[in-house]
Homo-oligomer: A and B are copies of this chain.
Amino acid sequence: MSQVFAGIEAGGTKWVCMIANHPGDIYATTRFPTSDPEETIGNAIEFIKSQTHKPGDLKGLGIGSFGPLDLNRESATYGFLTTTPKPGWANTDLISPFHEAFNLPIGFDTDVNAAALGEQRWGAGRGLSDFIYLTVGTGIGGAALANGKLIHGMIHPEMGHTRIPHDWERDPFPGVCPYHGDCLEGLATGPAVQARWNQPAEDLPPEHPAWQLEANYLALGITNLIATLSPQRIILGGGVMDQEHLFPMIRIKVRELLGNYITAQEILETNEQYIVPPSLGSQAGVLGAIALAQQAAKA
Question: What residues of chain A have their CB less than 8 Å away from a CB belonging to chain B?
Answer: 68, 82-83, 130, 142, 144, 146-147, 149, 151-166, 179-180, 220, 223-225, 227-232, 257, 259-264, 266
Contact = CB atoms under 8 A, between A and B. Distances in A.
A153 B164 contact: no
Contact of A142 (B157, B166, B223, B228): B228
Given A83-B260, A146-B147, A154-B232, 20 more contacts: A130-B151, A144-B146, A144-B229, A146-B146, A146-B151, A147-B152, A151-B230, A153-B229, A153-B230, A153-B231, A154-B230, A154-B231, A162-B227, A163-B165, A165-B165, A179-B259, A180-B257, A180-B259, A224-B224, A229-B229
A82 B263 CA distance: 10
A73 to B, nearest CB: 14
A152 B130 contact: yes
A47 to B, nearest CB: 32
Contact of A149 (B68, B83, B147, B156): B147
Sorted nearest first, the 10 A-B pairs with minimum C-beta distance are A153-B230, A130-B153, A179-B261, A179-B259, A162-B224, A146-B151, A161-B227, A154-B232, A158-B227, A146-B146
A157 B151 CA distance: 15
23 contacts: A82-B263, A130-B152, A130-B154, A146-B146, A151-B230, A153-B229, A153-B230, A153-B232, A154-B230, A156-B230, A157-B227, A157-B229, A157-B230, A158-B227, A158-B262, A159-B228, A161-B227, A162-B223, A163-B164, A163-B165, A163-B223, A225-B228, A229-B229
A155 B261 contact: no
Contacts of A82: 263
- Binding site of A, secondary structure by majority: helix, strand, loop or mixed? loop
A261 B158 contact: yes
Given A154-B266, A163-B224, A261 B130 contact: no
Contacts of A158: 227, 230, 261-262
Given A153-B130, A230-B156, A68 B146 contact: no
A160 B156 CA distance: 22
Contact of A260 (B156, B179, B230): B179
A134 to B, nearest CB: 11
A190 to B, nearest CB: 19
A69 to B, nearest CB: 12
